[in-house]
Amino acid sequence: MAGLLTDRNVLVMGVANQRSIAWAVARAVVREGATLAVSYQSERVRPRIERLVAGLDGEVTLLACDVSSDDAVAKAMKRLAADMPVLHGLVHSIAYAPAEDLQGSFVETTRDGFAVANDVSSYSLIAAAREARRLMAQGGSIVTMTYAGSHRVIPNYNVMGPAKASLESNVRYLAADLGPAEIRVNAVSAGPIHTVAARSIKDFAGMLELLQTHTPLRRNVTADEVADATVFLLSDLARAITGEILHVDAGAHAVT
């Protein structure tokens, strides 16, 4: 039986380790029949990524891509084109803020920290979409990852809140810009997931415990559930959906 992404080429950007959402997405798109490419931050982490993808079916294209550099993004996409002249899906699962700007009060956010958080977590989607569209001659789907801190105050989320708000605005503007080329742009707003990156948020465990008792489903979500929703947005089942923020948070957005 064919999968939802059979005969599709999909690039997942931001794989860092086995607990990352990007890795869950990578596994899901392979399960659904796609040919996979993976990008990671620098060559320093390549051995770790090689070990991860070794267990997947089929060949996987690996790309180092520092998304804070337009030149690096362009070069990564050029390398990708050698293996995937046509790209059908792009998953942007990248976020970063300096640790010191995730501590203390938001009002103490530094200018440099704010700039870095928005550059890496938000602008990088624009940079990736600009280059990926050249490979999406048959149309395609771009999906990014956001969080509820984009539209309401989440304790200790600090500078990442404005960065995610910017990211969601980018989704809408890119959807309008790329729609005539049959390229859809959406975001998944995931509930909190215990990834390595989440450890930098103070009292993250307390946040998980609270939501487990307050969401309509009375539980938290998993990276695999976020990955399944991402597969849906990448697939033809979502062919009329663009500019959307899809909540995968056990219903938390409806009651909090």
CA nearest to 188, candidates 145, 134, 217, 129:
145
147 is catalytic: yes
Q: Which one is catalytic: 40, 96, 123, 147?
A: 147
Amino acid identity at 149: G
CA nearest to 227, candidates 62, 11, 78, 24:
24
40 is catalytic: no
Q: Which one is catalytic: 40, 96, 123, 157?
A: 157
Q: Strand runs (DSSP E) across the chain, as ranges? A: 9-13, 35-40, 60-64, 89-92, 140-146, 183-190, 245-248
Decide: 113 and 162 in contact? Cβ < 8 Å.
Answer: no
Integer Cα distance of 150 and 170 in angstroms? 12
* Catalytic residue list: 147, 157
